[in-house]
Amino acid sequence: MALVDIETPTAPARGRWPQVEGPGMAALEEWVYEIAELTQPDRIHWVSGTRAENRALLEQMVEDGKLIKLNPEWRPGSYLARSHPSDVARTEARTFIASERKIDAGPTNNWADPAEMRATLDGVFEGSMRGRTMYVVAFSMGAVGGPLSHIGVQVTDSPYAVASIGVMTRVGDEVTQLIADGAPWVKTVHSVGAPLKPGEEDVAWPYNDEKYIVHYPDTLEVWSYGSGYGGNAILAKKCFALRIASVIGRNEGWLAEHMLLIRVIDPTGKKYHVAAAFPSACGKTNLAMLRPTIPGWRVETLGDDIVWIRPGEDGRLWAINPEAGFFGVAPGTGESTNVTAVETLWGNTIFTNVALRPDGDVWWEGLTDEAPDDLIDWEGNPWTPASGRPAAHPNSRFTVRAAQCPQIADDWEDAVPLDVILFGGRRATNVPLVVEATDWNHGVFIGSTISSERTAAAEGTVGELRRDPFAMLPFCGYNMADYFAHWLEIGASEELTAPPAIFQVNWFRRGADGRFLWPGFGDNSRVIEWIIRRIQGEAGAIESPIGYLPDTDELNLDGIDVPQADLDELFHVDAASWSREADLTEEFYAQFGDRIPAELTEQLAALRSRLAEA
């Protein structure tokens, strides 16, 4: 396979290259060399995805001081990365949708003119990989060759990103062969920036004032510069699997969603599949790894973060988890909150910005009830419980293969038919523990109004709301009003004869004294049980202005103590408070102008009418 001529003073050395042939390979190689001509790496290496290559990459990062190898007696095959303090989270203010028309990005996205942004990125990417290796990573989201899968290629100068992509996706020559055979693919480009000067040492996490995470929905590309943080560097994840995939889904008639996916198994062995959209800090990972407290019920994990949903020939919606791993928030994950996650992290894990124990293991707030006496914090400084600061960064992470989860389903990579869709937020007031949508359009209306309160509203008033419709506000690659319309179109399709039922849940409602009214965690299975019995026609419901509510006698509360007064409050619907909520929804819709679908404004008017009658 011949090298493509590139106009650089010295062509980069070529490391490992895939032994793949096919009509699509020439275009792929041409693109790789085009990026190399711009970024000027010293070397190009095509990632194979083998265990030996991964092991060598990790060992090289340890040797270079970019990773700390953890004690294999405690965490075999595991490593700790520490990022620059300026690079610890997604940079939403520097995340752009560069659509040809500003209106197509919508008011909730940062829009950039694509021609102007390409000129800007050409400037910052020029020479950005000098002194480093440019890795070429062909990856598949979903099983390689699967009917619901999509593929992409990321070029990057970050070995940390390469190792993480190897966990979060399926990587290797098998994917490259699909491209060579003519399969469509998404182009993604990443550089940590800060090109090296001759003789300069490559630090673990370069500092950059400039950061850009740019999505081109019209050409299906992602370009990310200046950040090594996983959410900005693992471009297969939020960038591709949500922002770009949401555009592909709109164009092709399917949905890319920020959802978990689980299988619920009742005592008779019957299986039900539930997808749930929760914003951050709303119990998403805990539900993905739920251990029911009701005897005889089981939950199998299928995915914890992203779900792709397509209409099937049988009139149902079918879903997959396109990822191969978990990129989870560490703080708050412990044996008392999510023992399944803790057991998943026994080894073969990359931790980022957690604390280091003297014995070579890791720790973070919430892992155990008591903090160790002495630690090295996430910035590499000595720490004790008296230090007055967190030992782990609040957004510290773990990256681990999904297959290690003890609750993972045997067939977790396969598509499953959806029975239930859940929407949830963190609401101290107003929103009941569970409410059922009256139909698909009402369910879309509920999804479009999902929000969490910024502050606890113990006085019973509606607090300031942080809107996150469908938990997709930061991740939708196009105008959210058009996204709402797309959901409505999916539901209106004549082919969708057996749509999943839609429910809203809220584990976080508080009483007047500020305490949580519902125990949560494993006891959330009691709500799931009512939902399953409801869709099977085995449980009744009470009509309310906001949807169908369970009779509190219908909930299985055996073994837990929830006073009747708390149950009454959990399902209380205050017409005055909900009227104010409707006003806030109208304000939220107003920013989209006339692009808001008429079906949603009709739903809002109907809600107000029902509240007035109540």
Tell whether 395 is in a known binding site. Answer: yes
CA distance 537 to 540: 7
Tell whether 522 is in a known binding site. Answer: yes
Which runs of E-coded beta strand occur in 415-516? 416-417, 420-424, 434-436, 451-453, 465-467, 501-505
Cα–Cα separations (whole angstroms), residue 578 to 163, 552, 612: 48, 21, 10
Model pLDDT, residue 613: 93
Model pLDDT, residue 465: 83
Tokens matching residue 244 = 């770009």
Out of 3.40.50.150, 3.90.228.20, 3.20.20.100, 3.40.50.11900, select the CATH number for domain 257-324+412-574. Answer: 3.90.228.20
CA distance 512 to 456: 10
CA distance 98 to 101: 8
Tell whether 90 is in a known binding site. Answer: yes
Tell whether 51 is in a known binding site. Answer: no
- Name the packing angle between helices 480-492 and 245-252 (round to 10°): 40
- Residue ranges of domains in the chain: 13-64+92-253, 257-324+412-574, 326-400
- Of the candidates 467, 491, 424, 485, which has an alpha carbon nearest to the alpha carbon of residue 585? 467
Instruction: Look up residue 94 and give its DSSP letter.
Output: G
Tokens matching residue 567 = 């149950």
Strand partners of residue 416: 319
Model pLDDT, residue 176: 97
CA distance 481 to 600: 10
Is residue 75 within 8 A of residue 346, CB to CB? The reply is yes
Model pLDDT, residue 280: 84
CA distance 423 to 402: 23
CA distance 354 to 80: 8
Return the active site residues.
282
CA distance 102 to 146: 34
Tell whether 45 is in a known binding site. Answer: no
Q: Please state which CATH number belongs to domain 13-64+92-253.
A: 3.40.449.10
Q: Are strands 375-376 and 362-363 parallel, antiparallel or unpaired?
A: unpaired
Instruction: Look up residue 188 and give its DSSP letter.
Output: E
Tokens matching residue 363 = 């720790």
Strand partners of residue 303: 261
Q: Strand, helix or coil at 341?
A: helix
Tell whether 282 is in a known binding site. Answer: yes
Phi and psi at residue 83, to the nearest 5°: -95, 165
Each residue's pLDDT tens digit, 513-560? 999 999 999 999 999 999 999 999 999 999 999 999 999 999 999 999
Tell whether 229 is in a known binding site. Answer: yes
Tokens matching residue 336 = 């008392």
According to CATH, the superfamily of the domain at 326-400 is: Phosphoenolpyruvate Carboxykinase, domain 2 (2.170.8.10)
CA distance 150 to 139: 9
Q: For residue 255, what is the enclosing H or E element?
A: strand 255-257
Q: Which amino acid is at 473?
A: L
Write out residues in the chain with pLDDT < 50, as ranges.
1-9, 455-462
Q: For residue 271, what is the enclosing H or E element?
A: strand 271-277
Instruction: Look up residue 606 and give its DSSP letter.
Output: H
Q: Strand, helix or coil at 28?
A: helix
